[in-house]
């Protein structure tokens, strides 16, 4: 009975000593725990987190949207007209399209980075931002287009008007050509009627 009591007492004290040994061992070692969110771990250079688009460098080629395996990128464009063209990219590359919509749904994104490599202007890339949780899923859709709805409508109306003018010019040119061909045919017919026959020339 006493032997069992002493054994239990020793085991209890022994476990306390083992625990205190570990505690004292770490008590004088510098802490490795980061005090998040005041402190954040440094991410590797090739970390793949939230996508970002440099809208001014986007030319609307849609190669990123085509490469995306989960269709999380939506792009809409309107062609520029000679009197209203987009500003060139930061590297001086000319643009032919107004990018009226460029949405990235981060809720769908699988962070594969396949959209980054095809971009000819390096406008889209992955950042080190990983804190973007939302209560509303719709807030995970990021809109990068800087044009307002009024500006988008203006660009579309300008292009439609330009196209209508081009079509009107084509119709007018076709009509003028048809009239010229008809006039030329009438003149040729009149000349052939006036021209004397071979028998008349011999006489």
Question: Does residue 198 surpass a pLDDT of 70?
Answer: no
The tens digit of pLDDT for each residue in 73-92 reads: 999 999 999 888 999 999 99
pLDDT, residue 121, reads 94
- The whole-number pLDDT of residue 116 equals 96
27-38 per-position pLDDT tens digit: 777 777 888 888
The 10s digit of each residue's pLDDT in 150-195 is 999 999 999 999 989 888 888 888 888 888 888 887 777 777 766 5
Tell me the per-residue pLDDT of 49-72, one tens digit each, with 9 for 90 and over: 999 999 999 999 999 999 999 999
Confidence grade of residue 1 (pLDDT, cut at 50, 70, 90): confident
pTM of the model: 0.69
Query: Rounded to an integer, what distance in angstroms lies between the CA atom of residue 123 and that of residue 99?
Result: 13
For residues 4-29, give the mean pLDDT: 83
Decide: residue 152, CB within 10 A, 0-12 exposed, 13-18 middle, 19+ buried.
middle
pLDDT of residue 203: 52
pLDDT band at 199 (very low <50, low <70, confident <90, very high): low
**Whether residue 200 has pLDDT greater than 70:** no
3-state secondary structure 55-87: HHHCCCCCHHHHHCCCCCEEEEEEECECCECCC
| C-alpha–C-alpha distance, residues 53 and 116, integer Å | 10
- Give the separation between CA 85 and CA 26, rounded to whole angstroms: 66
Q: What confidence tens digit (pLDDT) does each residue in 99-137 have?
A: 999 999 999 999 999 999 999 999 999 998 888 889 999
Q: DSSP letter at 110?
A: -
- What is the model's pLDDT at position 197? 53
pLDDT of residue 24: 81
Longest Cα separation, the chain: 161
């Amino acid at each position: 009975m006493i032997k069992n009591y002493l054994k239990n007492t020793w085991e209890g004290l022994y476990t306390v000593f083992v625990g205190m040994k570990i505690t004292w061992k770490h008590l004088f070692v510098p802490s490795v725990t980061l005090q998040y969110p005041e402190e954040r771990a440094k991410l590797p250079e090739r970390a793949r987190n939230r996508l970002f688009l440099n809208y001014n460098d986007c030319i609307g080629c849609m190669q990123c949207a085509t490469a995306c395996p989960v269709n999380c990128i939506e792009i809409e464009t309107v062609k520029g007209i000679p009197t209203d063209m987009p500003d060139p990219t930061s590297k001086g590359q000319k643009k032919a399209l107004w990018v009226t919509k460029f949405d990235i749904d981060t809720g769908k994104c699988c962070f594969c980075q396949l959209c980054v490599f095809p971009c000819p202007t390096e406008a889209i890339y992955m950042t080190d931002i990983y804190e973007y949780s939302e209560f509303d899923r719709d807030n995970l859709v990021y809109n990068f287009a800087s044009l307002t709805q009024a500006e988008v409508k203006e660009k579309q109306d300008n292009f439609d008007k330009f196209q209508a003018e081009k079509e009107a010019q084509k119709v007018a040119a076709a009509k003028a050509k048809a009239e010229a061909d008809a006039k030329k045919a009438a003149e040729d017919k009149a000349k052939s009627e006036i021209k004397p026959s071979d028998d008349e020339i011999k006489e």
